[in-house]
């Protein structure tokens, strides 16, 4: 478990400017693959990447949660508890801290080590471990208001396979969320093009008052990712709360 004072949140808010920047061109260096050159050029010309650096976020993904929260008002203010599954490198944790303030409780869990973020508890573990729900409830001193998941399976290059693997992660994330959410809580998970699969969507529609899909502006247009947003948790598939 990691909780600490290093690597705190961003220094300010603000929206990403739509102003056009002068494009940066990257030459292919000797020994560098052309795909790496294209990735580097995209990063250098991405306004979300530039704004994340300016504000101190740990990556452009922070803006995805900011935009989802602005649309749906998911993150509690003045307190509450949030779990971030697959939290590394920590951008969503930073946004949750920014929104919830000092009275909020944020617990992140990831198989990878995540550099400490002041005000959050970060656990290096597998959220699918049998004892994970009880462990996180103990850290939060109760159930969660929101469970977030920006997890995606490692891509294979085969669109259908990648969709199915990420869909399976979303289903596992909801299995976990159903264990720790309080009534009225919310669940957000990454899915791929086509949205949540029928089995997961049926569960969410049964267990929540409202279910929607969203592709935030910070998601790259060419990316197949989108998010399922479920609000108004009714207490779980077997009546748990």
Residue-wise pLDDT for 149-164, tens only, equals 999 776 666 667 666 7
Q: Where are the alpha helices (DSSP H) in the chain?
A: 34-44, 47-55, 62-72, 91-100, 132-140, 159-180, 198-207
- Collapse the DSSP code of 241 into the 3-class scheme (helix H, G, I; strand E, B; otherwise coil) and give the result: coil
Mean pLDDT of 106-121: 95
Residue 208 has pLDDT above 60, yes or no: yes
Mean pLDDT of 67-90: 94
Q: Where are the domains of the chain?
A: 62-233
Residue 15 has pLDDT above 80, yes or no: no
Residue 5 has pLDDT above 70, yes or no: no
Provide the β-strand partners of residue 122. 2, 108
- How many CB atoms lie under 10 A from the CB of residue 193? 12
Q: Which two tokens stand for residue 53?
A: 């650096």
Residue-wise pLDDT for 93-102, tens only, equals 999 999 998 8
Residue 4 has pLDDT above 50, yes or no: no
Which of 21-25, 78-82, 202-206 has the lowest average pLDDT? 21-25
Measured CA to CA, the distance from residue 118 to residue 7 in angstroms comes to: 7
Give the pLDDT confidence score for residue 195 in this predicted structure.
65
**Burial environment of residue 160 by CB neighbours within 10 A (0 to 12, 13 to 18, 19 or more):** exposed
- Pick 54 or 235 by higher pLDDT: 54
H or E element, residue 72: helix 62-72
Residues forming the active site: 190
Residue-wise pLDDT for 164-197, tens only, equals 778 888 999 999 999 999 999 999 999 876 667 8
- How many CB atoms lie under 10 A from the CB of residue 235? 15
Q: What is the rounded average pLDDT for all residues in the chain?
A: 81
Measured CA to CA, the distance from residue 198 to residue 238 in angstroms comes to: 19
Instruction: Identify the CA nearest to 83 among candidates 154, 212, 229, 187.
Output: 187
Give the pLDDT confidence score for residue 161 in this predicted structure.
67
Give the pLDDT confidence score for residue 167 in this predicted structure.
85
R_g of the chain, CA atoms, integer Å: 18
**Burial environment of residue 12 by CB neighbours within 10 A (0 to 12, 13 to 18, 19 or more):** exposed
Q: Which two tokens stand for residue 99?
A: 């929104």
Give the pLDDT confidence score for residue 40 in this predicted structure.
46
Contacts of 221 (CB under 8 A, 6+ apart): none
Residue-wise pLDDT for 51-61, tens only, equals 989 999 998 89
Which of 5-9, 78-82, 105-109, 148-152 has the lowest average pLDDT? 5-9
Contacts of 175 (CB under 8 A, 6+ apart): none
What are φ and ψ of residue 233, in 5° steps? -60, 135
Indicate the fold that domain 62-233 takes in CATH.
Rossmann fold (3.40.50)
Give the pLDDT confidence score for residue 202 in this predicted structure.
94
Provide the β-strand partners of residue 192. 225
């Amino acid at each position: 478990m990691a909780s600490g004072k290093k690597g705190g949140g961003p220094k300010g808010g603000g929206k990403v400017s739509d102003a056009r920047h002068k494009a940066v061109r990257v030459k292919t260096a000797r020994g560098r693959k052309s795909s790496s050159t294209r990735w580097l050029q995209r990063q250098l010309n991405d306004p979300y990447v530039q704004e994340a650096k300016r504000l101190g976020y740990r990556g452009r993904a922070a803006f995805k949660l900011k935009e989802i929260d602005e649309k749906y008002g998911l993150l509690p203010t003045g307190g509450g508890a949030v779990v971030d599954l697959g939290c590394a490198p920590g951008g969503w944790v930073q946004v949750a801290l920014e929104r919830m303030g000092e009275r909020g409780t944020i617990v992140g869990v990831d198989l990878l080590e995540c550099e400490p973020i002041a005000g959050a508890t970060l656990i290096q573990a597998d959220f699918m471990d049998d004892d994970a729900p009880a462990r996180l409830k103990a850290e939060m001193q109760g159930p969660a208001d929101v469970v977030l998941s920006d997890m995606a399976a490692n891509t294979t290059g085969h669109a259908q396979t990648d969709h199915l693997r990420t869909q399976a992660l979303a289903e596992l994330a909801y299995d976990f969320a159903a264990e720790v959410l309080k009534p009225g809580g919310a669940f957000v998970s990454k899915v791929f093009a086509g949205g949540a699969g029928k089995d997961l969507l049926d569960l969410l529609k049964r267990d929540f008052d409202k279910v929607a899909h969203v592709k935030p502006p910070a998601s790259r247009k060419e990316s197949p990712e989108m998010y399922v947003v479920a609000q108004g948790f009714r207490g779980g598939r077997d009546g748990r709360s």
